[in-house]
Amino acid sequence: MEGLNLDGFEMMGENVKRLLKNCGEGIRLMPLAKIAKPEVVELDDYCRLRDFVFIWGGQGVKIGKYTDIQPHVVVWGGGKLTVGDRVSIGPGSVLLTAVYSHAEGLKMVDGLGEGTTKALYGQLVIENDVYIGANCTLMPDITIGEGAVIGAGSFINKDAEPWGIYAGSPAKKIGTRPQGPVI
């Protein structure tokens, strides 16, 4: 298309590597993985982004070593995301780094019209050795502690303790995972 310029907006697959803030060794970007604002995204050694992953770089995204982000995961909001080493994020999960405040008088159906929408940017931190099941939603301004497990379909709006097992909507602690070396 003549006149269409998408430079710097989003890139797909392996061709985005040269635009990343940091690109580690052996990373795998599947052909249909998308990253918007790659200049603020850091991918550490041997992490893998599967097809249909969408990451909006926002204020910065850092993904640790050997981390696997499975298909249809969305990072959204424009805030900051930090993911540790050896993390698995299940398919269909949504990681939010902002929420939105709608001012009085905002017309949602007819467009913006009156009022304003304000983004409330936050930070989401996922520490090392965490497992997040399929179709989870994580809200901004929380920390998922080292070694925690989040059950499939969970809604996380509060911090998760290290080595805790969480499930539900909203998620509650249902157990504790044994600590120790993770293989």
Radius of gyration, alpha carbons of the chain? 17
Residue indicated by tokens 């304003």:
116
Check if the beta carbon of residue 152 is closer than 8 Å to that of residue 136.
Answer: yes
Give domain status of residue 134, yes or no: yes
Q: How far apart are CA 112 and CA 140, in angstroms?
A: 24
The answer to whether residue 57 sits within a structural domain is yes
Work out how many domains the chain is built from and give that number: 1
Q: Per-residue pLDDT tens for 43-90? A: 999 999 999 999 999 999 999 999 999 999 999 989 999 999 999 999
| Residue 91 resides in a domain | yes
* Domain that residue 74 falls in: 32-176
pLDDT tens-digit map of 156-174: 999 999 999 999 999 999 9
Compare 37 and 7 and report the one with higher pLDDT. 37
pLDDT at 149 over 80: yes
Integer distance in angstroms from the first to the last C-alpha of the chain?
Answer: 49
In a domain, 3, yes or no: no
Sheet containing 94-96: order of strands: 10-12, 34-36, 54-56, 74-76, 94-96, 137-138, 155-156
- Asked if the structure places residue 84 within a domain, the reply is yes
Q: Is residue 72 part of a domain?
A: yes
Geometric angle at alpha carbon 100, from 108 and 133, rounded to 5° = 110
How much is the pLDDT for 1? 41
Q: Is residue 24 part of a domain?
A: no
pLDDT at residue 180, as a whole number: 72
Is residue 20 one of the residues assigned to a domain?
no
The answer, yes or no, to whether residue 131 has pLDDT greater than 50, is yes
User: What's the CATH code of the domain at 56?
Assistant: 2.160.10.10
| pLDDT of res. 107 | 52
59 within 8 A of 39, measured Cβ to Cβ: no
**Alpha-carbon gap, residue 158 to 148, rounded angstroms:** 13
